[in-house]
């Protein structure tokens, strides 16, 4: 499966627990919504993913990718040190140029 370059970079950053590289995939004013919480801006996103990486050691394995209008949806099997691992999650992306402007993660 061929992923857009920035999404492939995001998956690689996640799987190597590189929160700086992960955050660099996002626009400066990007928004992430995960587990009912909202993270605004690249710095908050970097702190959020660094904390999640430390707690859960998650690994993403892309399963499916599709475009739905202006939203790109990556379905991934996510495993780690959390209850119920692994789970299938949907990553709903919207872009500004070559960077992610918004990401909503759903089950």
pLDDT digits (tens, 9 = 90+) for 35-60: 999 999 999 999 999 999 999 999 99
**Do 52 and 89 contact (CB within 8 A), yes or no?**
no
pLDDT digits (tens, 9 = 90+) for 9-24: 999 999 999 999 999 9
Rounded to a whole number of angstroms, the distance between the first and last alpha carbons of the chain is 21
pLDDT digits (tens, 9 = 90+) for 53-86: 999 999 999 999 999 888 899 999 999 999 999 9
Domains of the chain: 5-106 (3.10.450.50)
CA 100/CA 93 separation, integer angstroms: 7
**Residue 69: per-residue pLDDT:** 82
């Amino acid at each position: 499966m061929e992923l857009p370059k920035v999404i492939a970079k995001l998956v690689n950053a996640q799987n190597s627990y590189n929160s700086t590289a992960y955050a660099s995939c996002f626009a400066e004013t990007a928004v992430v919504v995960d587990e009912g919480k909202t993270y605004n801006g690249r710095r908050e996103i970097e702190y959020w993913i660094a904390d999640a990486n430390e707690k859960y050691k998650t690994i993403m394995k892309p399963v499916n990718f599709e475009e739905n209008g202006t939203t790109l949806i990556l379905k991934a099997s996510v495993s780690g040190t959390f209850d119920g691992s692994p789970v299938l999650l949907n990553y709903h992306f919207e872009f500004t140029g070559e960077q992610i402007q918004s990401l909503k993660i759903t089950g």
